[in-house]
Amino acid sequence: MIRHLLGMLGGLVVIAACMFYPFLPGPHDAGAVTLSVMARLFAVSGLVLVPLGATWLVHELRMRPGLAAWSPAGNYRGTWFGVAALAMSSLVALVVSLGSLVDHHASAGVAVLAVWIYAATRLAGRLATRRRAGTRTFNPAPIYLIVWPLMAAALEFTLMGPALEASRTCAIDESARLIGDIERYRERHGRYPLSLQSLWDDYRPSRVGVRRYGYEPNGESYNVYFEHAARAFDAKEIVMYNPRDEQDFSSHNADLLELSPADITARRGHVAVRQAARPHWKTFVFD
């Protein structure tokens, strides 16, 4: 049983690490947000496994050796619980793999499905062996179906919101040196820089899930912005600074070339605009 307790704990550590990896301090990792979305999808979709796991667990407890309820037919029913669990887990694995499309990392989804197919094949073989042998020992599999989804969901619904907010605020605070240097450039040259496009980033957000700061002139002012993980699975989030609070952001660059200023304003594409935790910062949410 110790082995299974360690296995449950290890699985929870892996799930939590994937969920919160983008919000840790460190250099940018292009796959961090994808891993987080996939783990968060498991936290939600995996809840469908809990009722099955609970029913299976009750059956396993009734079938413990020495109880009058044990019978070969009952052992046979336990096998079918395992088959149902494999089928439902396969659907969950498919949903989780779709999370790789959020940031266009389809290879991660293919890898998840490949690992699951291998694991499901091994588990199916063990179920068949238990049935042929008429094994009467307790099967801990339903506990995994209960513990992992419930704990992952608890993390998603209690800690994910604060983690997103803390990460966003840290990335905003890390931009202070960049904004200060932009203002000093204006003091020296009488205008803001036309571009900061470059190969290397000397001003970094220092969050694993945030790639880089963007900069653009905006009339007599300027915007500093970065993309951050969003609360919704299928959303994009842009966090933007403008000293005059004149921020705006478009979902398609072709619109900026082809549309009139009035049409651009009407078709920016964001579904929500919120004040961020610091003055002159706003968050734009795109679906």
Question: What average pLDDT does range 69-92 have in this prediction?
Answer: 76
Q: Has residue 69 got a pLDDT over 60?
A: no
What pLDDT was estimated at residue 135? 60
Taking the model in full, what pTM does it have? 0.88
Dist. CA 76–CA 278, nearest whole Å: 61
What pLDDT was estimated at residue 198? 92
Dist. CA 20–CA 153, nearest whole Å: 13
What pLDDT was estimated at residue 278? 95
Q: Has residue 68 got a pLDDT over 60?
A: no
> CB–CB of 22/209 below 8 Å?
yes
Q: How far is CA 223 from CA 178, 186, 239, 250, in A?
A: 11, 14, 10, 13
Confidence at 265, pLDDT banded by 50, 70, 90: confident
Confidence at 267, pLDDT banded by 50, 70, 90: confident
* Crossing angle for the helix pair 32-45 and 141-158, to the nearest 10 degrees: 120
Q: Has residue 283 got a pLDDT over 60?
A: yes
Q: In the chain, pLDDT over 70 holds for what percent of residues?
A: 93
What pLDDT was estimated at residue 260? 86
* Crossing angle for the helix pair 141-158 and 72-98, to the nearest 10 degrees: 30
Dist. CA 43–CA 157, nearest whole Å: 9
